[in-house]
Amino acid sequence: MQVRELDVRDAYEFIPTTFSDNRGLFVAPMQEPALQEAIGHPLWVAQTNHSISARGAIRGVHFADTPPGQAKYIYCARGSLLDVVVDVRVGSPTFGRWDAVRLDDTEFRAMYLAEGLGHAFIALEDNTAMSYLCSVGYNPRAEHGVNPLDPALNLPWPTDLTPVLSEKDAAAPTLAEAEASGLLPQYADCVAYYEKLRAG
């Protein structure tokens, strides 16, 4: 398993080895030793999510109140997608920056996003299946969003796709509006929580 730290702090790309033969393919997209070495603590999995998306569907930018926030480990089980992490933590050295990784059912690359980071993706083909492991269960009162089409963020959505958004995501505030309203996580709170996790 290869690991690459992304431009956004506390986000990582994982590249597993795939094994193919006349029966098909085997891969382990999530391997705890590699993840723990990268982030400094185990990932407690409280919920697994699975979504099927049509070509052009955008989900996000989603984040949760931190602490406890919601860390995510993400891979594409079928099809292909562009996965995007956005630093929405006020006070972070990489606040407002993003990074993106193509996830697909050929290489089975994965992404880890620490608590407090924003997450979004766009399906690059129909019937794209995404699976992700979450550190805490879904709490609708603690989950928030930033508009994925915020021009100030300028996220790397392919220009040949027509974005398809939920009403909730389309109505989400821009990053500047979310910051002004006090909606965004504070970087200092997130870092203190990461240290608590590392301390066990």
Active site residues: 62, 132
Tell me, what amino acid is at 23?
R
Q: Which of 9, 80, 5, 55 is nearest to 35 (CA)?
A: 5
> CA of 14: how far to CAs of 128, 133, 147, 151, in Å?
19, 14, 27, 29
Residues 137, 140: Cα–Cα separation, whole Å: 10
Tell me if residue 74 falls in helix, strand or coil: strand
Three-class SS state of 188: helix
Q: Concatenate the DSSP letters of all residues of 128-146 into one string.
A: EEEEEEESS---TTTEEE-
With H, G, I as helix, E, B as strand and everything else as coil, classify residue 181.
coil
